[in-house]
Amino acid sequence: MVKVTSIILASGALFHSAVATTYAQFCNDNNCEEGCGGSVSVDNSACLVENGRGSVKFHDTNFGSVSLIATNNDQCSCQAFCYPHVVKALATSNDCLDLKDPLHNFKSFRFVNVDLAGGCSTDENTCDGSVQ
């Protein structure tokens, strides 16, 4: 019985460690080449204050569906814009997302797992153009 339990626990540990995540780095330019910061897991939905960044470089991409929500303040308190399914879309193309948009000055971002949290809001802009 002890051997069976040990085998089951070892198998579970191996399976858990084989689950991959995708990592992202915010960069200064729009080509993911200059001034890239540290890597963060897209599974982490914490607020990332990345004011003035031009692109996001993804690596170790898996096939999960993650959206990137952009906010025009430094608190991630609303959705000024949403890039839907960025990781799923990038898994088959290049791994750089251009954030440059002359109409927006995004200051903070957060990743949202579409399967767990539903992704982008159905309202394109929940900030109503004001800093909240």
pLDDT 10s digits, 109-131: 999 887 666 678 766 677 865 44
Q: Give the 3-state secondary structure percentages of the chain, helix then strand then coil, rounded to 5.
A: 20, 25, 55
pLDDT of 76 reads 92
Kindly list the distances between the CA atom of residue 4 and the CA atoms of 1, 13, 15, 42, in Å, as whole numbers in the listed order: 5, 14, 17, 36
* Mean pLDDT (10-residue bins), the chain, 132 residues: 46 46 90 95 92 88 80 90 75 73 79 75 67 41
Domains of the chain, start order: 23-117 (2.60.20.20)
Cβ neighbours of residue 46 closer than 8 Å, sequence gap 6 or more: 110
